[in-house]
Amino acid sequence: MKELNLKRRDFVKIFGLVSGGLLIGCNLSGDKATIANLDDGISFMPNLFVQLQKDGKLTIVVARSEMGQGIRTSMASAIADELEADWEYVSVQQATGDAKYGNQNTDGSRSIRTLLNPMRKMGAMAKSMLESAAAKKWNTDVANCKAENHYVIDVSSGKKIFFGDLVEEAKTIAVPSEDSITLKDKKDFKYIGKKLKSIDIYDFTHGNAKYGLDARLPNMKFAAIARCPTTFGTVKSFDKSDAVDISGVEDVIQLDRLKPPTGKFFGMLGGVAVIANNTWSAFQGKNNLNIDWDMGPNASYDTEKYNEKITSRVHNKGKVVPPMRGSVGKAFKDASKVIEATYTMPHIVHAPMEVPNALAWVHDGKCEVWAPVQDPQTVRAELAHFFGFELENITINVMLLGGAFGRKSKSDFVVEAVVLSQKVNAPVQVVWTREDDIQHSFYHAQNAQYLKGSLDKNGKVSGWLHRIAFPSITSSFKPMSDYAAGFELGMGFTNNPYEIENIQIENVKAEAHVRIGWLRSVSNIISGFGVNSFVDELAVASGKDEIDFRLDLIGRDRIAQGNSPHPFNTARLKNVLKEVRGLSNWKKQLPEGHGMGVAIHYSFYSYVATVAEVSIKNGKVKVENIYSVLDCGMCVNKDSVINQMEGAAIFGMSLTLFGKISTKNGVVEQSNFHDYQMTRMKDAPNIHVHIIDNDENPTGVGEPGVPPIAAAITNAIFNATGKRVRSLPLSDHGMV
C-alpha cells in the first residue's frame, strides 16, 4: 500500500473503507479553518467520494440532500461523465452529516453552482488513475490509455480492460495533483447537459424510496406533540387521562421549550408529547389531551391588524439603506408624472408533502438520527450543543426529503425526537400532523411595500423610492431583530437591476410574532412581486409596451463590479426578456377576457423572465399559460432544470392564488389543505420553459423560477381587466 501524501490536501486516497474497493476521496477534516476559508462558493472545496468495486459497481457519495431538485442524479452524473463511467454501473450513497464533506447545507440553490467543478475533478482524477493503472499493467505509455465507457482501451493495440479489473492496480497509483487534472471539453460530455432520468426513478415508481417518515427500527415508538397554539406559549397544566385511554398509547411527556442560543440553531417549541406504538394512536392521544396553555408573548398577534400597522409604516420614512443615488425628492419635483403604490402579501408556509419528522435513537452514549434534513451538519452541531454528545457520537442519516422548500433546514423536529428518545429509552419517531406543520412553522414573512416613481418628460423613469417592511429571518436567531437584514434586502431590493438616476431604498420596522424562516426563494418573492408590479404600473403610465419599457429601464449593457463569483450582467437579463417575448408570442391576438403579463427577476445569480397568460370568466382567474426563460449558465441535467422551472411556476401560482397564513389572537387560522390550498391538476396551466444555452458557470436553479410568477399573473390580470391587484393572494379578492 502506498503511503498517503498528507502534505497535499487536495486529494487524499483512503484505503480500506470498503474491502476490495478503490475509494478515492478527499479529506479536509483535519483543517477546519481551511474549510471555513474555502467555503466562499467559488474556491475548490473537495467533498465527494468515488468508490469503484471489482465488479465494476461505482458508488458515488452525494453529500447534499435530495428534495426533488435531482441533486443525487446531477452530482453523480458529473462525476461519472469525467470518469468515463457507464451509467448502468452507477449508484448513489447518501452521506451522513460530517464536516469532512465540506459544506452540506442544501439551501440557496447553490449545490451545482459551487460543486460542479470539484465534482468533475473528482471524476477526472479517478479516470486518470485508472488509465495509469492500465498503463502499468500493460507496461505501456499512459498516453496510449484512454478510458471509455467503463473500460480503459490501449489505442495502440486496441486491447481493453474493464474498470473493475483495474481496482487492485489503481490502488498502487499515486494521486495526481489537482493541476495535472484536465477536464473534458463540453463537446465530449456524455451526461452533463443531457437528459438523464432520475437515479431514483425506479424507487419512486415502486414505493421503495425511503423518506424520513419511512425510517423504521425494531421496537420503535411513534410520537405526536401538542404545541401551544400561540408562538412561544407554554404549558400551564394538562390532563392526560383521556389520552392514555387510547389503545396503543404508552406514555405522555411534557416537553419544555429548548431555546436556541443567540445567533444559531433552532431549538424546539416544547409542549406535550404522546408516545405510542403506532402513529395513529399517537395522533389520537394528542387530540385527547386536555391542556391549559399560557398563551405567552404573542397572544395578541393578529395578522390583519399587523398588515395595517406595517402598511401605515411604509407610508412614512424608514431607514435609508445603500445604494442611494441622486435625489428622489428632486426627481419627483421635476417629474412630468409621479405615481405611487402599496403592495402587501401575507405569511405563507412551505407545506412540503412529507411533514416534518425524525427518528432518533439515543443509546450507549450515542445518538443516531434518521431524518429528512437539508443541513445535517447543523443538526449534528445543534444536538451536540443541547445534549452534550461528542460530535463523533452523533450520526445524522439523511433520508430522502419529501419536499422541503426551506422548512427542513430548521431542525426543531430532530431535537424533539432526540429529547423523547432519551426520555423513553427507545427509538422514537416524531411525526408532525399536517395541522402541526401549517400552524407551527417558520413562516415566510408577511410584508408591505410602498413604491413611488417618477417619469420625466420623455417618459423615462427618473426617480425610484422603495420602502420595505417585513419581519426578518434574523428574528428567529436574535431577539429585537426588527428590521429586514442586509441579506434579505439583497434579494431584489438593494440590487434593483434598473438604471435609474435617483434611487432611495428604505428599510421599515417590522417585529416578528411568529417564527420566521426562509422559504423557496425567500424575500425574492416579496421584491419579485413589488418591483415587477410597480415597473408595470410605470410602463402603463408611460404608455410604452411593458417589455420595451423594461429593456429601456435595465439600460446599458454592463457587468456589475465587485468580487461576486458570478457578476450581474444586464445583457443576460435583457436577453431572457427578449427570449420570452418570442416564446410567448407576446401581444399576440388573445381571446376576449384574456391578458398577458410579464415579470423578470435575477436571483441566486440566475436570470429569469416570465410571461403569464390568464383568462377571466365571471370574475374568476384561470392561468392558461406560463412561459419562462431561464439563464442559469451551463446545465448539468437539462430535463431536471426544466422540471424545476415547471415546478417553480406551480409553486408561484400556489402562493399567488391561495397562499395565506393568518392569525387571530396569536393562533394560526389555517390548518390543512382545505383552507391552505395548493395549485391542483385542474388549475395547472400549460408551462413552456426555455433554457438559454451557454457556457457560463452554472448558477441557481431550484429557486429563481419562483419570484416572477406572482407579478406576471397580476400584470396579466391588469391587461385582461384593467384591475391592478396590489395584495395577495387572489383568493382574498374572490378571484379564485
Partner 1 sequence: MQTLSINGKNYQVDAPDDMPLLWAIRDIVGLTGTKFGCGVAQCGACSIMIDGTVVRSCSTLVIQAVGKKILTIEGNSLNLEHLRQTWTDNNVPQCGYCQSGQLISATALLDSKESITDEDIDNAMSGNICRCGTYVRIKKAIKDAVELRNQA
**Torsion over CA: 80, 81, 83, 89 (sign):** positive
Nearest to 369 by CA among 431, 441, 428: 428
Binding mask 432-461 for partner 1 (x = CB under 8 A): -xx---------------------------
Nearest to 576 by CA among 553, 602, 538: 602
Minimum distance from residue 431 beta carbon to partner 1 (Å): 8
Residues 370, 404: Cα–Cα separation, whole Å: 16
Residues 407, 387: Cα–Cα separation, whole Å: 23
Q: In the set 280, 332, 389, 477, which binds partner 1 (CB under 8 A)?
A: 280
Span of 288-296, 336-344, 612-620, 636-644 interacting with partner 1 by CB under 8 A? 636-644
Comparing CB distances to partner 1, the nearer of 413 and 651 is 651
For the purposes of burial, counting CB atoms within 10 Å of the CB of 619, is it exposed (0-12), middle (13-18) or buried (19 or more)? exposed
Minimum distance from residue 407 beta carbon to partner 1 (Å): 11
Torsion angle in degrees (nearest 10) through CA of 76, 78, 83, 89: 30
Residues 64, 374: Cα–Cα separation, whole Å: 8
Residue 595 belongs to what H/E stretch? strand 594-603
Comparing CB distances to partner 1, the nearer of 353 and 571 is 353
Comparing CB distances to partner 1, the nearer of 401 and 428 is 401
Comparing CB distances to partner 1, the nearer of 92 and 539 is 92
Residues 232, 392: Cα–Cα separation, whole Å: 32
Minimum distance from residue 640 beta carbon to partner 1 (Å): 7
AA letter at 523 = S
Q: Does 686 bind partner 1 (CB under 8 A)?
A: yes
**8 Å CB contact between 350 and 706:** no
Beta bridge partners of 23: 51
Q: Say whether 400 sits in a helix, a strand or coil.
A: strand
Quick one: cell of 499?
Answer: 438604471
Q: Does 352 bind partner 1 (CB under 8 A)?
A: yes
Residues 127, 112: Cα–Cα separation, whole Å: 21
Q: Does 43 bind partner 1 (CB under 8 A)?
A: no
Query: According to CB under 8 A, which residues from 163 to 202 bind partner 1?
Result: 195, 197-198, 200-202
Q: Does 69 bind partner 1 (CB under 8 A)?
A: yes
Q: In the set 510, 598, 649, 728, which binds partner 1 (CB under 8 A)?
A: 649
Q: What number of residues does the chain have?
A: 736
Q: Say whether 487 sits in a helix, a strand or coil.
A: helix
Comparing CB distances to partner 1, the nearer of 465 and 687 is 687
Residues 325, 455: Cα–Cα separation, whole Å: 16
**8 Å CB contact between 334 and 462:** yes
For residue 234, the tally of other CB atoms under 10 A from its CB is 16
Q: Does 203 bind partner 1 (CB under 8 A)?
A: yes
User: What are the start-end ranges of the H helices in 495-545?
Assistant: 524-542
Q: Is the peptide bond before 118 cis (omega within 30 degrees of 0)?
A: no
**8 Å CB contact between 631 and 700:** no
Minimum distance from residue 60 beta carbon to partner 1 (Å): 19
Q: In the set 9, 136, 137, 210, which binds partner 1 (CB under 8 A)?
A: 210
Binding mask 233-252 for partner 1 (x = CB under 8 A): --------------xx----
Span of 315-323, 348-356, 609-617, 627-635 interacting with partner 1 by CB under 8 A? 348-356
Beta bridge partners of 237: 292
AA letter at 216 = R
Comparing CB distances to partner 1, the nearer of 66 and 488 is 66
Q: Does 678 bind partner 1 (CB under 8 A)?
A: yes
Minimum distance from residue 308 beta carbon to partner 1 (Å): 31
Q: In the set 51, 53, 66, 83, which binds partner 1 (CB under 8 A)?
A: 66
Q: In the set 679, 714, 715, 719, which binds partner 1 (CB under 8 A)?
A: 679
Q: Does 620 bind partner 1 (CB under 8 A)?
A: no
Q: Does 568 bind partner 1 (CB under 8 A)?
A: no
Minimum distance from residue 440 beta carbon to partner 1 (Å): 16
Q: Does 646 bind partner 1 (CB under 8 A)?
A: yes
> What are the φ/ψ torsions at residue 274 (nearest 5 degrees)?
-110, 125
Residues 682, 586: Cα–Cα separation, whole Å: 25
Q: Does 487 bind partner 1 (CB under 8 A)?
A: no
HEC string of 671-694 equals CCCCCCCCCCHHHCCEEEEEECCC
AA letter at 593 = G
CA 513 to each of CA 299, 303, 471, 557: distance values in angstroms, whole numbers, following the listed order: 9, 9, 8, 43
Comparing CB distances to partner 1, the nearer of 210 and 337 is 210
Q: Does 713 bind partner 1 (CB under 8 A)?
A: no
Minimum distance from residue 269 beta carbon to partner 1 (Å): 20
Span of 20-28, 267-275, 280-288, 576-584 interacting with partner 1 by CB under 8 A? 280-288
Q: Say whether 443 sits in a helix, a strand or coil.
A: strand
Q: Say whether 317 sits in a helix, a strand or coil.
A: coil
Span of 169-177, 394-402, 409-417, 529-537 interacting with partner 1 by CB under 8 A? 394-402
Q: In the set 381, 430, 687, 712, which binds partner 1 (CB under 8 A)?
A: 687
Comparing CB distances to partner 1, the nearer of 190 and 513 is 190
Q: Does 287 bind partner 1 (CB under 8 A)?
A: no
Residues 313, 484: Cα–Cα separation, whole Å: 14
Q: Does 571 bind partner 1 (CB under 8 A)?
A: no
Minimum distance from residue 248 beta carbon to partner 1 (Å): 7
Span of 400-408, 445-453, 481-489, 715-723 interacting with partner 1 by CB under 8 A? 400-408
Quick one: cell of 315?
Answer: 407610508
Q: In the set 56, 70, 704, 708, which binds partner 1 (CB under 8 A)?
A: 70
Minimum distance from residue 278 beta carbon to partner 1 (Å): 4
Span of 74-82, 381-389, 523-531, 683-691 interacting with partner 1 by CB under 8 A? 683-691
Residues forming contacts to partner 1 in the complex (CB under 8 A) are 66-70, 195, 197-198, 200-211, 213-214, 216, 222, 247-248, 278-281, 283, 351-355, 400-405, 431, 433-434, 639-640, 643-644, 646-651, 654, 672-674, 678-682, 684, 686-687
